[in-house]
A and B are shown apart, each in its own frame.
Chain A
């Protein structure tokens, strides 16, 4: 059984003229212990997908259709209090900015033990011991001494380590990490990526890693979903998607990333930019920027389909009927 199953999820923002569809019918699975990368440009809906899973969708945004199943049980329609118990215990979360995810007025030790006590049956002393263990595990030197420091006394990288320790408090099965390294310097980013990789291996935790940085995905993830305008454009094993992209958007995206050691005079570029939610064209949302678009792309919206290769892409180029006709 898959750890997490997202089925035909739609997220919309009601407004005066109807509703803006921010996530349009996406489905994917996460297996236990797997790292699924979700990559896309800003506004593609990747963070909203993460927020829907941990039940932190900001109103007026709401799940309009579809189901989210954790270990076979629906979690998208749970009452607030029940979801609160799952969040933290079964699903951990790591956000982009470590300074805003920690309470500046409480010491690290108080924040960690509080989380441990809520989710686990422990005494205060046991919780403190566990908190110290966690801090040591995420690589904070002199953990016992630093326990009683406040968040502002830590550097950015150390704060993100504390946030990771917080997410691990109750041994969750899944961690949703939304841009965990974006606010950090490159050398710290490399440390945090290595840490995340080691921790999910040791704890067999699955991670949904949301980022705009293909490099981070290449380093960390097992599979990757490429999102564009609220839909999954392509999903498959990381190596396959990076080396042999099928969807024209993924191809363009890969070509537009400068890579050290690859000497190219002109980077491949995708002209234009992602459409606003109010201006998503009929048919495939990518049709205006796609070099291979043909008539069908302007009428029908493609779903994920097999490409003949290892990944699946939402593109009519791979539709057997179109190809034959």
Chain B
């Protein structure tokens, strides 16, 4: 793992995201707005996000619910259209590529694994039809026999047996269903997988199986992952680099070891402070204060300032930009000015 990360670090980014934004209109209907004299309400789910993912690495986005991490996943695979900004995959601008009629050639190069393996598999389809759908859509096989052989191969790859192709999803446990999801994602031979909380619905012992499988597949097939999770321990285990999100923006992007050893942004420190102490050291920790504000009406300036112990006047007024500090990227006035509490 470490070796591959170093080898690829000099290569160009597989995915570049530049100033990506997604705004949802959550206003009341027109008549209600006119009668109650209310303005339009815009929810800025993702607001100006820029990052890069290098080939062969696992980049994770972490954050609490409502921070926009799943919206980013949906924007990248094209399930939402962006309000602003661009996504460039291996030199191809996705906004243009998706509307193009040859879009299938590009689209099969990335796939998505969803959180809930109970909701993401069609209960009326047999497993072999579920797994072979991308093969049929992208016309990757010539005959039925070829498709069947490929499905058998894929099921073996994720630790199921080819005979499981005849069954229906309800005959499998949660962990096995997530394996089916992974087999489906791999069937179009993608290079890049977007994994939105792939283990959150699973029990810990099953989570370990899936995480091990994903790491093993990455090694064997040279996959690149965008991994989205709220579980910091899982993120620590799988990631090469991590982006921490808060209210639609990135506050810190760093390698996994830097982020966990020396977190810089006050929000990252707060998040790390909430990790349960499994080593039973019994160290008393500073209590975490406050809650995530309503994203429809976020605070001015730095959106984290109401919870931040280092906030001053500048943080109330001016929104910080993501800046390079050493190997990490941080959006914080306090870090920039070297302020300490």
State the A residues within 8 Å of B (CB).
41-42, 155, 157-158, 185-191, 194, 212-216, 218-219, 238-239, 242-243, 252-253, 255-261, 264-271, 273-274
Contact = CB atoms under 8 A, between A and B. Distances in A.
B204 A253 contact: yes
Contacts of B272: 260
Given A188-B291, A218-B276, A267 B237 contact: yes
Interface stretch (B105-113, B136-144, B227-235, B310-318): B227-235
A46 B232 CA distance: 25
* Closest A-B pairs by Cβ, 9 of them: A215-B276, A256-B208, A258-B237, A41-B203, A190-B274, A185-B64, A267-B208, A269-B208, A270-B205
Contact of B203 (A155, A212, A259): A212
Given A214-B278, A243-B280, 14 more contacts: A42-B203, A158-B291, A185-B292, A187-B292, A214-B204, A215-B233, A215-B277, A256-B205, A258-B233, A260-B236, A269-B208, A269-B209, A273-B174, A274-B203
Interface string B51-82: 00000000000001100000000000000000
B287 A191 contact: yes
B288 interface: yes
Contacts of A188: 291
B207 interface: yes
Nearest to A213: B276
- Looking at chain B's contact residues, the main secondary structure is helix
B97 interface: no
Contacts of B271: 186-187
Contact of B277 (A213, A219, A264): A219
A242 B277 CA distance: 11
Contacts of A261: 236, 260, 279
Given A185-B292, A186-B230, A273 B206 contact: yes
B35 interface: no
23 contacts: A41-B204, A41-B206, A157-B291, A158-B291, A185-B292, A187-B271, A187-B292, A190-B287, A191-B287, A212-B203, A214-B276, A218-B277, A256-B204, A256-B205, A257-B208, A258-B211, A258-B234, A259-B278, A260-B272, A260-B275, A269-B212, A271-B209, A273-B174
B208 A186 contact: no
Given A256-B204, A258-B211, A258-B236, A186 B280 contact: no
A187 B271 CA distance: 7
A221 B90 CA distance: 50
Contact of B274 (A186, A266, A270): A186
A189 B174 CA distance: 25
Contacts of B280: 218, 238-239, 242-243
Nearest to B1: A265
B13 interface: no
B270 interface: yes
